[in-house]
Structure formats: C-alpha cells, structure tokens
Amino acid sequence: MKAFLALLEKELKIVFSSPIAYVFIGLFLTIAGFFFYNIMAWFDRISMQSMAYAQMYRMPPQPINVNMMALRPFFHNLTIIALFLLPGFTMRLFAEEKRQGTLELLETSPITNWQLTLAKFTAAWILWGITLALTGILVGMLFFFGNPEVGQILSGYLGMFLVGGAFIAIGMWFSTLTENQIVAFISALGANLVLLSLGWLSNFAGATLGKIFANIDPIGHFDDFAKGVIDTKHIVFYVSFIFMGIFLSFMSVESARWRGSR
C-alpha cells in the first residue's frame, strides 16, 4: 500500500508539475464547450419552433425535454471526445518510463508490477475524474434552460467515469508495448475506434455475432447511463473491462523482464 501511494503521488506530481494535465484538461474542455454550444444552439432553435407551433395552433407550448434533447447527446459527445483524447494522455504512462530509463529504477526497486500498474491507472483515472468534474460547469448552465434531472446527471457522470476508465485501461496496455509514444497513441486510438465500430457493426452482423460485438463496445454500454438508468450489468462490464486492461499491462511489464527486450 505504501509503495502504491508513493507511486501514485509521483505520477500525479509529474502530471501536474508539467504541462501535460493542463493541456489535456484545456483541450478537453475547449472541445466539450464547442459541442455544448452547438447542442444548446440547436436546443434553442427547436424550443423556438415549438413556441411558434404552439402559437400557430393556439395550444400551450410543449416543454422541450432538456434531459433527452440536451443532456443525453452532450454526454455522448463527451465519451467520443474521451475516445480520441485519452489515448493522448495514456500513451506516456509506460512508454515514457522506458524512454527516459526510469523503468530501470522502478524495476530494480522493491515494488511489484501490480503496485506499479494500479498506481498508473489510478493516477490517470483521477485526472479523468477532475476533467469530468470541470465539465460540470457546462452542465450547470443547463439549469438556466430547463429543469435537468439531477439523477440523470449523476448517472451520466458515473457512466462517463467508467467509459474513461475503459479507455485508460486500453491505452495503458498499449503504452507498455512500446517505448514510442506516438505508436502507443495511434494503436490505442485505433483499438478504441475498432471497438466503437464493432458496436456500430453489431446492427448488421446477425444475431449472435451482433450481440457479441455490441457487448464489447464500451460506448455501447453507456447509453443507459446517459438516459439516467444505472444497470449493474453495465457496471460489471466496465469493471471487468478495466481489470482486463490492467491485467494485460501487468503481464506485459512482467514479461518484458523475462525477455530483457528493453
């Protein structure tokens, strides 16, 4: 536990004493803000239309549901941004340690590779949590437009936290496989896109295959959260997915020792 905390603390100190964290958060919020603006502009337009219809047909205006029309698409947008940006953060997790030779310090110190991989994953997940918390500023603005449901907001955030965890776990694994950060980035992004397209292909892939495809796409498990439904089956999926990524990373770091390939 002590070693885990020391590793976690070091990881966070490096992330926050260099531009990495700020660039990541800044970029994420900028893109999120752009999508948010578009969604709200669109939401505004359909609200106006609804108002106009109401006047035309002399009916009371239909309230447009901010939960379904704004919140849910915005949450979906955030997961797609995460799909693209998180590999840019996770690429350095192990590749950087290899490149700068610090893996030689870690791997000759009395710590285990479990402590190491768990600490790295946790640090990245904390950064993701902070980033998500900051998007709360945008979501908070929805309260001026309507009555967003707090329950749905919380379940959406839980879902996004888990989706991000899944992307981090994949990205970390790819980072253990190379000392080249660009390679780690591209392969992790590629893997995320493959998973995403499997979710999409599931609609055409026939019954059995389609079900498998739909089940391994992290974003496919997200929609219930975005709608405000917390289903344990999705939580189990994300937790297993994350554990799998951490396990693969552990195995990769552990077996690199046998090969001496670095």
Partner 1 sequence: MIRVENLTRYYGNFPAIEDVTFDVDKGEILGFLGPNGAGKSTTMRILTCYMPATSGKATVAGFDVFEQSMEVRKRIGYLPEHPPLYPDLTVDTYLDFVAKIKGVPAQERKKAIDDVIDRVGLQDVRNRTIRKLSKGFKQRVGLAQALVHDPEVLILDEPTVGLDPKQIIEVRELIKSLAGRHTVILSTHILPEVSMTCQRVVIIDKGRVVAEDTPENLSAKVKSTERILVEVEGPQDEVKQKLTSVPGVKNVSLENANGTARFVIDSELDKDIRKDLANTVVSQGWGLLELRPMDVSLEEVFLRLTTKE
- Cβ atoms within 10 Å, residue 18: 11
Nearest to 188 by CA among 169, 215, 216: 169
CB atoms under 10 Å from CB of 240, counted, come to 11
**22 part of the interface to partner 1, by CB under 8 A:** no
Report if residue 7 touches partner 1, rule: CB under 8 A. yes
Determine, following the binding rule CB under 8 A, whether residue 9 of this chain makes contact with partner 1. Answer: yes
Tokens of 126: 């904390």
Taking the complex as a whole, the smallest distance from the CB of residue 171 to partner 1 amounts, in Å, to 20
216/233 Cα distance (integer angstroms): 13
Out of 12, 17, 80, 244, the residue judged to bind partner 1 by CB under 8 A: 17
Distances (CA, A) of 79 to 23, 86, 164, 167, 213: 18, 10, 7, 10, 18
- Tell me, residue by residue from 52 to 91, as one string, x for binding to partner 1 by CB under 8 A and - for no binding: ----------------------------------------
Considering beta carbons, is residue 92 or 234 the nearer one to partner 1? 92
Q: Measuring CA to CA, how many Å separate 28 from each of 99, 133, 155, 183? A: 27, 12, 20, 22
At its nearest, how many Å lie between partner 1 and the CB of residue 257?
Answer: 6
Specify the residue, 18 or 147, whose C-beta has the smaller distance to partner 1: 18
Q: Is 13 in the site for partner 1 (CB under 8 A)?
A: yes
The residue (of 12 and 134) whose beta carbon lies closer to partner 1 is 12
**Identity at 115, one-letter amino acid code:** Q
* Contact (Cβ atoms closer than 8 angstroms) between residue 239 and residue 165: no
- Those residues with Cβ within 8 angstroms of residue 68's Cβ, 6 or more apart along the chain or in another chain: 227
How far apart are CB 94 and partner 1 at their closest, in Å? 14
The yes or no reply on residue 257 touching partner 1 (CB under 8 A) is: yes
Residues 86-115: x where in contact with partner 1 by CB under 8 A, - otherwise, as a string? --------------xxxxxxxxxxxx----
Q: Does 14 bind partner 1 (CB under 8 A)?
A: yes
When asked if residue 23 is in the footprint of partner 1 (CB under 8 A), the reply is no
Nearer to partner 1, 144 or 258 (CB): 258
DSSP state letter for 62: P
DSSP 26-58: HHHHHHHHHHHHHHHHHHHHHHHHHHHHHHHTT
- Taking the complex as a whole, the smallest distance from the CB of residue 15 to partner 1 amounts, in Å, to 9
Stretch that binds partner 1, among 68-76, 124-132, 215-223, 253-261 (CB under 8 A): 253-261
Minimum CB distance to partner 1 smaller for 108 or for 208: 108
Q: Say how far apart CA 76 and CA 64 lie, in whole Å.
A: 19
44 in contact with partner 1 (CB under 8 A):
no
Site of interaction with partner 1 (CB under 8 A):
2-3, 6-7, 9-10, 13-14, 17-18, 100-111, 257-260
